[in-house]
Structures are given as structure tokens and as C-alpha cells.
Amino acid sequence: MVHLNENGLTMERPMFPPGTATLLDELDKKLMVLLRDGRTLIGYLRSVDQFANLVLHRTIERIHVGKEYGDIPRGVFIIRGENVVLLGEIDSEKEANLPLVEVSVDDILDAQRREQEAKQEHDKLLAKSLKERGLRLIPDLSHDDMF
């Protein structure tokens, strides 16, 4: 397979079948990984196996609430492949110009807790309103509920 690089030159790349082998191109790159439980991890990919299990180095867990975010250092992080929902390379130029405000870990955890409490309150009011109309709210099953 032939690809163009940024200089317009052609380069021959090894042909990997679709699947986890294509992750070998991402080794030593800074990646963002979205997990099934909703967590977002950012770190350098150091290892991958045939099951798409990942080892991230210098990992942070990034928590977003509105236009704010906070980073929690996690160090070396091993991720079971079946828990990965989305994986992508971080563009360092775009990362430097994020339209978000970084706040302390304590502040972002408080904001996350308030957001979760507001969602629970909203769900309670919705369930009550539906019950008054003779209906029952059945929340979607999360992945964890299915296994």
C-alpha cells in the first residue's frame, strides 16, 4: 500500500490485515482512549496484543464538565481491549489550543458530582411524572448491567 506523507513523497507501509495489528502504527504516540464506563484516558501507547489490550504510559484521566476539565495522573495503565470504545491520536497543536478551562482535580470532581446529582434528580422527576400518567420509566441497560 502506498501513502503520501506531508512532503508529497510516497512511502511503502507494511500491509496489516484489519484489526489489532493496525494499532502497531500507534506505538509511542499520544492517544486518547474512551472506555465503556465513560472514562477518558490520555497517555502514550507502549504495548498492544492480539486482543487489543493496551498499555498506556504517563496516563492521565481527563474529566470534562461543561467547558471545564481536570486531569488526574494515573501513571502506567493497562486496559482490557473489550473496554475500549474509541481510540485516537492526540494532535499536539490542537491540544495546546483547547477551548476549555483547566481547573483543579478537586474542583472538577465537585462539578462532576453536582452534574451527576442533577441528572439523578431529573430522572426522579421524570419517573414521577410518568408514573402520574400510568407509565413506568425503564432506564437503558448499561454495558455493565448486561454482563
Q: Encode pLDDT of 2-46 as tens digits.
A: 555 666 655 555 555 566 667 888 888 999 999 999 999 999 999
CB 108 within 8 A of CB 101: no
* Mean pLDDT computed over every residue of the chain: 85
Of residues 18 and 73, the one with the higher pLDDT is: 73
CB 27 within 8 A of CB 19: no
Above 60 in pLDDT, residue 143?
no
For the residues 118-147, what does the mean pLDDT come to? 79
Of residues 52 and 2, the one with the higher pLDDT is: 52
